[in-house]
Amino acid sequence: MKIGVIKQKGGVGASTLARMIAVSYSAAQWNVKIADMDTKQGSCTRWNSRRLANEIEPNINVQQFASVNSAVNQSNDFDLLVFDGAPHSSKQTLEIAKVSDLILIPTGTSIDDLEPAILLCHELKAKAINMDNVYLVFCRVGNSLSELDESLQYVKQSRYNYFNTVMYEKTAVRRASDEGKAANETKFKSINQTNDALLQNIIDKLTDLTK
């Protein structure tokens, strides 16, 4: 199975989302690889180095790739390949979307985040990507419930798919990442439970799409 985490811009939590997915499936005894497609930043690769240094289980296989074909060609030994796409819409972004069973587009709640995310959806639709497989995911959400509600309404009006569960902006998540941990491996049970709820929706959707 393949999950593509793609984005039009950086700073929307894509790598955080990709790591959480990979860690959770690995904990369930799946053989998982993260394809780090951002050869300049390599944030997932550097995160995994910290995870290995701190001897955190489960171990995650992370590898940088310059092309989608290279990642796919090396995925035969894995149950799940998670693409952490490079920022900005590109030929590579479309290639990830074409090979993925589930496509996730992380976004924040600001217009500066939402507009590029919706624009990416428009571009995928124009390229004949099956939009039933594409879901917007709210990450790095602030404490304002009214702002979140406005953002959900904004996406709802676009008629694109989205998850009602979200990942909130939390210092504990950033601290966990600094140690090589995922967003549901923080020191706080309530934060982990919230992020697990989002994760479960993603798992359920992937299961539905690949039946």
Please state the pTM of the whole predicted model: 0.96
**Stretch 74-95: mean pLDDT:** 91
**Stretch 69-84: mean pLDDT:** 95
Indicate whether 118 pLDDT > 80: yes
Q: What percent of the chain has pLDDT over 70?
A: 100
pLDDT of 154: 94
How does the average pLDDT of the chain come out, rounded?
95
Q: d(Cα 88, Cα 108) in Å, to the nearest integer?
A: 15
pLDDT of 108: 93
**Stretch 119-147: mean pLDDT:** 95
Pairing of strands 134-138, 102-107: parallel
- The domain limits of the chain are 2-209
Instruction: Judge whether 118 and 160 are in contact, CB under 8 Å.
Output: yes
pLDDT of 89: 65
**Residues, the chain:** 211
Which residues share a beta bridge with 107? 138
CATH class, 2-209 region: alpha beta
Pairing of strands 80-84, 61-64: unpaired
Q: Tell me the per-residue pLDDT of 2-50, one tens digit each, with 9 for 90 and over.
A: 999 999 887 779 999 999 999 999 999 999 999 999 988 899 999 999 9
Indicate whether 177 pLDDT > 70: yes
